[in-house]
């Protein structure tokens, strides 16, 4: 009788372990989350920024037909300089270009889960303002989905470039 109860306990324990291992993680957060993966400097004036993202409702990315107003850009990289002890945002859009704002293309989730996860790599042609008298910079990054939910803001480490 004791062997049967031990066997029943082990079978029950195994069933519990298997049930929890097969349980799909629930993901109901509609706001995308981002994390910094890496920032790699390739030369004095170029770098690659890699971020990871997770979006539970799968609406990251913009289709080609959405291109105006709120849907012009969906990935925002803000440039900051350390000026006399304070971080000051440098306006990269004043040049008439889009500055450091980007369009992540439409990503369609595969399978029954709508959750999207992945990495986004951004090549920065010049990762600092060569005309600035300041040599210390950092970036703040955020991602916006098609429902206009804005992710958390991540900040890179501080970079000091040679003059």
Is 47 inside any structural domain? yes
- Over residues 152-163, the pLDDT tens digits come to 999 999 988 766
Is 87 inside any structural domain? yes
Q: Give 65-70 contacts, CB < 8 A, sequence gap 24+.
A: 66/146, 67/103, 70/144, 70/148
How many other CB atoms sit within 10 Å of the CB of residue 100? 20
> 117 forms bridges with which residues in the sheet?
54
Is 148 inside any structural domain? yes
- Over residues 65-123, the pLDDT tens digits come to 988 889 999 999 998 999 999 999 887 665 444 568 899 999 877 777 888 999 999 88
Residue closest to 145 by CA, chosen among 69, 71, 89: 71
Is 3 inside any structural domain? no
Structure confidence at residue 127 (pLDDT): 67
Q: In what order do the strands lie in the sheet with 46-55?
A: 33-43, 46-55, 116-124
Residues with Cβ within 8 Å of 28's Cβ and at least 6 positions away in sequence, in order, are 56
- Count of domains observed in the chain: 1
Is 43 inside any structural domain? yes
**CATH, residue 131:** 2.60.40
Is 103 inside any structural domain? yes
Which of the residue ranges 45-54, 118-127, 147-156 has the most confident prediction, judged by mean pLDDT? 147-156
- In this structure, the chain runs to a length of 163
Is 18 inside any structural domain? no
Strand, coil or helix: what is 16?
helix
pTM of the predicted model, to two decimals?
A: 0.76
Is 94 inside any structural domain? yes
C-alpha of 44 from chain center: 25
- Is 35:52 a contact under the CB 8 Å cutoff? yes
Give the residue numbers spanning the domain of 62. 33-160
């Amino acid at each position: 009788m004791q062997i049967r109860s031990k066997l029943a306990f082990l079978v029950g324990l195994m069933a519990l372990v298997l049930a929890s291992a097969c349980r799909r993680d629930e993901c109901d957060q509609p706001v995308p989350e981002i994390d910094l993966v890496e920032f790699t400097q390739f030369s004095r004036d170029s770098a690659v920024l890699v971020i990871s993202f997770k979006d539970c409702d799968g609406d990251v990315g913009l289709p080609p037909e959405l291109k105006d107003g709120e849907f012009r850009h969906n990935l925002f990289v803000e440039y900051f300089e350390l000026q006399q002890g304070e971080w000051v945002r440098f306006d990269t859009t004043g040049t008439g270009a889009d500055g450091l704002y980007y369009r992540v293309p439409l990503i369609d989730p595969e399978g029954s889960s709508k959750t999207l996860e992945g990495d986004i790599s951004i090549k920065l042609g010049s990762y600092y303002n060569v005309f600035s008298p300041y040599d210390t910079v950092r970036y703040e990054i955020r991602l916006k989905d098609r429902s206009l939910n804005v992710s958390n803001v991540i900040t890179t480490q501080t970079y000091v470039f040679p003059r």
